[in-house]
Structure 1
Amino acid sequence: MRLEEVTSALEQSLSVTGLELIAQGGQKYVFGCKLEDAPAVAKVVLLPPGPDSIYVLERAQREVEVLAAIDSPRVVRVLSEVVELDFTEGIQAAAWVEECLDGQDMRHDLEKPWDFDRCARLIVHLSEGLAAFHELEVVHRDLSPANIRELSDGSFVLMDPGLARHLAKSALTGIFQPGTAGHRSPEHIPGGDVQPVSDIFALGILAYRALTGTLPIDPSGPEDDYYRRLRDYDSPLIEVSCPDIPAPLREVINRCLKRQPARRYLDGLELVEELEKHGKTFGAYFIDA
């Protein structure tokens, strides 16, 4: 399949112009473009041949459906519906348009520990993003560095809910245990029940990793061993690695990382309420601050 064929199909189906390939990996293409003269991003996901194509298409439709229902500066905005594209040699794809975000995703800035203020800002902004998801009874399920973008103004935006689960729509739950190794919750183990509280655990992992450069539960080795550690091991307390951490930040991270779901914040809404009580540590980072 030629790149020119892809860009031509996008121009016709999504009314975008100025297409420029900015990322390609596996079965996914990302193009910078303009939509009605405004900067945007076009995403293309190739559908595998055979019966699996329906699951990939449903995942794309799920991602766009979730994003279209959310209006929050902490969540990337979708600008079109999903369109299906047909190419030569029987190749098919799903494509849609999202807003263009500056900055970079969190993967690219984990080489050295963050300061406490930046971590507090991360927690507030992601809790607001998760609250928008959880208010709609949607679980993100893959809160990992690749899906978090830090913008040039220092704010954080939640992206790529392609693995999201709508609690009221069982048909959209998928057929496998989703998530990124190292960033899964104990509920992600086979047979587990991933809920909003699982996103809270993943947020705790992100904060812990940002401050320490390490993951609280080691994902290395066979996957069965990793799942056993998730099920049986408690996450280390953050103050062991960060003895000078402010008490409110310490308490929030440690509670997010409780192995037992009932001991965490139950969802993003409850976490936001807790953060609002600690104005000195978190208050400056809320949307309406």
Structure 2
Amino acid sequence: MTASQPDPMLGRLIDGRYQVRSRIARGGMATVYLATDLRLERRVAIKVMHGHLADDAQFKNRFVQEARSAARLAHPNVVSVFDQGQDADMAYLVMEYLPGITLRDLLRDYGRLTPEQTIDITDAVLSGLAAAHRAGIVHRDLKPENVLLADDGRIKIGDFGLARAVTNSTGTGQALLGTIAYLSPELVTRGVADARSDIYALGIMMFEMLTGEQPFKGEQPMQVAYQHANDAVPRPSRLNPEVPPQLDDLVLWATAKDPAARPADAGVMLDRLLQVERELHTPGSDTGPQPTLVLAGGGFEASDSDTQLIGPAAQVRPEASATDAVAALAKTAHGRQSRGWWLLALVLVLAAVAGGTGWYFGGGPGSQVTVPTVNGVALDAAKTALTKAGFKVATDEVYTSSVPAGSVVSSTPAQGTKATNGSTVKLHVSKGRQPITIPPLAGLSKAQAQKAITGAGALVGTVDEQFVSDVPKDTVVSAAQAEGDKADLSKGGGYFKGLKVNLVVSLGAVPDVTGKAEPDAQAALSAVGLKSTEGKKDYSDSVPKGAVLSQAPQNQGPVRVGDTIVLDISLGPAPVAVPNVVGETWDKAKKDLTDAGFKVSYPATVGPIPVDQFPSAFKVTATDPAASTMQPKGSTVTVSLSFGG
């Protein structure tokens, strides 16, 4: 899409609910947009399959599989999937929106990461991956692009588009999927994957985080794939000497060419990672990241929130640190000897302070209390529950269509979270549905009416298309409330935000096929989606035989696509009896036959005498067909004549 061609998705309303705001990212299978869920009034990320893949059943199945796989996982380190559907020919899925960057962006900006940062990110990824593996799901496409780092510090795995159930992880014979740089040897050589294939991809990611580059490189993808299948991943410390041996070993364990030599799943590897983390932060460990200097924010002890980590750039020499530590300990010992009883008194005071602090934050006013569950509860009951839990209560009112008026919609802080004892919890109380005004809709085009409905804050309900003779095609005939008293909204009127409006849209008039030959009439009706059936047959002096005499819907009520039109067919003119004109003079016989609707054939002369000059001198001796024979009007009767009778 060039700059001169704006994205047609921007501003589009998907499925009458999701308003597209901006584009976030574009991939090989889909594009991700920032959208607003008009029903729940929240920002979401909506992933829309590329149009050229919509007819490919395999890709569509993979796309739906992503929603099903992720929806089965409820974990803080896995991107939540809210919804999945089809709007016209467009498949989409709706996910939680996480403002931030990907791990790929972080590596692009900073190159390699510190061991501590690598451990933090790997911990989060393994936690989410372990939940997937426990649920029997293999991700199959783990890479830095699919690790999301939110602005609020959360780390989540996304894009389960290649996920498969573990029991179905055999090869398919298709081209290998996923990014070649993170494919396990068994995926490259045999096209099969299980939980250990995800572990291999994570090991490659750890190598990249610790060194700033991937272990295998090549100008062509097949060169990289060949190395995955045949070469061992080197130790990260060969490229970055600051990598501790424990992380070296963890990377080599995760990237073993034989799947049986790797961790069985993410849960097993997570246990080992946590053990490595404890080892690296054990005081006196000579294998930990020694060059990291910890500066406390003041006081006797430094909490996690007070601590600042100055990474390898500080390069504090272990020898100097040990010397300084010995000197500090000697000075402390000397101070203790000189102060004597004062030190004991100080310790007792500090113990008392610690005890008082423990009471204050443990059971006193500074303690942390869980906010009770009050969503959906009547206001008075919610106030009582919060007061009993030790909170003060404030309220405000909000419109919502999902909670009855007078009940709690939500609270700040949210229910289930911790808050300080005695602090104030604000209850957001439902005012019921928000009143809105729907503009007149009858006479608008279908697209204009849908835009007017969503613009007013309502949702588009059913769109019933009907054939209406006096309303142009694609024009709204009528509109009505989908809920409540179903009042007519054709001329607009009051309604409520978030509720649906049903539309009736004209398909134009049913084609008039009277007078057409029956096959032509059937084709004309079929072209607009209508069926036809033959009705009664009747004679007609004005409609040719086999043509449509009249048409009418088979059933009463509006005519819709797929309905049947009954066609009455002409049999042509009705037959009449040939008059008995034998013995009549020719002039009288001719008049009687013509008046009966027949054409007449007769000889020009009888002998040498012209018939037309002396019509009354000739008499009819016979007719063909004979008298009283039933014949169609307009057919010819041949007359035999004699002169003078």
TM-score range, shorter chain: 0.7 to 0.9
1:157 aligns with 2:156: yes
Alignment of 1:1-289 (within 5 A): 3=7, 7-12=11-16, 15-17=17-19, 19-25=21-27, 28-35=30-37, 36-48=40-52, 53-80=56-83, 82-86=84-88, 92-111=89-108, 112-169=111-168, 175-218=174-217, 220-280=218-278, 281=280
Deviates most, 149-158 or 20-29: 20-29
For 2:90 and 2:10, locate their aligned partners in 1 and report how far apart those are by CA, in whole Å.
9
RMSD: 2.7
AA at the equivalent of 1:103: G
For 1:49 and 1:116, locate their aligned partners in 2 and report how far apart those are by CA, in whole Å.
41
For 2:53 and 2:235, locate their aligned partners in 1 and report how far apart those are by CA, in whole Å.
47
- Kept in 2: contact 1:141–1:165 (CA 8 A): yes
Which string of whole-angstrom CA distances, capped at 9 and with x for unpartnered residues, describes residues 228-248 of structure 1? 211110111122122232333
For 2:117 and 2:260, locate their aligned partners in 1 and report how far apart those are by CA, in whole Å.
28
Shift in Å at residue 149 of structure 1? 1.0
Greater per-residue helix proportion: 1
For 1:7 and 1:46, locate their aligned partners in 2 and report how far apart those are by CA, in whole Å.
17
- Kept in 1: contact 2:113–2:209 (CA 8 A): yes
AA at the equivalent of 2:70: L
- Kept in 2: contact 1:45–1:94 (CA 8 A): yes
AA at the equivalent of 2:224: Y
Unmatched 5+ stretches in structure 2: 283-303, 305-645
Which string of whole-angstrom CA distances, capped at 9 and with x for unpartnered residues, describes residues 34-69 of structure 1? 22122211111124368x610111011100001100
- Which secondary structure does the structure 1 equivalent of 2:46 belong to? strand
For 1:7 and 1:237, locate their aligned partners in 2 and report how far apart those are by CA, in whole Å.
50
| Matched residue, 1:89 | none
Which string of whole-angstrom CA distances, capped at 9 and with x for unpartnered residues, describes residues 75-96 of structure 1? 100011x21222xxxxx22111
Shift in Å at residue 122 of structure 1? 1.3
1:232/1:161 CA distance change after superposition, 3 Å: same
- Kept in 2: contact 1:255–1:263 (CA 8 A): yes
For 1:176 and 1:254, locate their aligned partners in 2 and report how far apart those are by CA, in whole Å.
27
AA at the equivalent of 1:191: R
For 1:49 and 1:258, locate their aligned partners in 2 and report how far apart those are by CA, in whole Å.
36
Shift in Å at residue 224 of structure 1? 3.5
- Kept in 2: contact 1:9–1:85 (CA 8 A): no
- Kept in 1: contact 2:169–2:194 (CA 8 A): no
- Which secondary structure does the structure 2 equivalent of 1:177 belong to? coil
Which string of whole-angstrom CA distances, capped at 9 and with x for unpartnered residues, describes residues 71-127 of structure 1? 1111100011x21222xxxxx221111000121011212242111111001111111
| Matched residue, 1:287 | none
Deviates most, 263-272 or 172-181: 172-181
- Which secondary structure does the structure 1 equivalent of 2:180 belong to? coil
Greater per-residue strand proportion: 2
AA at the equivalent of 1:71: A
Structure of larger gyration radius? 2
- Kept in 2: contact 1:113–1:210 (CA 8 A): yes
AA at the equivalent of 2:175: F
AA at the equivalent of 1:43: K
Which string of whole-angstrom CA distances, capped at 9 and with x for unpartnered residues, describes residues 153-187 of structure 1? 43421110111121234699794311102111111
Alignment identity in percent? Answer: 26
- Kept in 2: contact 1:59–1:163 (CA 8 A): yes
AA at the equivalent of 1:148: V
For 1:54 and 1:243, locate their aligned partners in 2 and report how far apart those are by CA, in whole Å.
49
AA at the equivalent of 1:84: Q
- Kept in 1: contact 2:48–2:93 (CA 8 A): yes
Shift in Å at residue 212 of structure 1? 0.9
- Kept in 1: contact 2:13–2:19 (CA 8 A): no
TM-score by length of 1: 0.85
1:153/1:165 CA distance change after superposition, 3 Å: same
- Which secondary structure does the structure 2 equivalent of 1:192 belong to? coil
Which string of whole-angstrom CA distances, capped at 9 and with x for unpartnered residues, describes residues 140-162 of structure 1? 11111111111224342111011
Which string of whole-angstrom CA distances, capped at 9 and with x for unpartnered residues, describes residues 198-252 of structure 1? 111110111111111111122x234443332111101111221222323332221
- Which secondary structure does the structure 1 equivalent of 2:50 belong to? strand
- Kept in 2: contact 1:47–1:56 (CA 8 A): no
1:104/1:201 CA distance change after superposition, 3 Å: same
Aligned residues: 274
1:3/1:73 CA distance change after superposition, 3 Å: same
- Which secondary structure does the structure 2 equivalent of 1:79 belong to? strand
For 2:254 and 2:72, locate their aligned partners in 1 and report how far apart those are by CA, in whole Å.
26
Shift in Å at residue 135 of structure 1? 0.8
Deviates most, 223-232 or 159-168: 223-232
- Which secondary structure does the structure 1 equivalent of 2:14 belong to? helix
TM-score by length of 2: 0.40
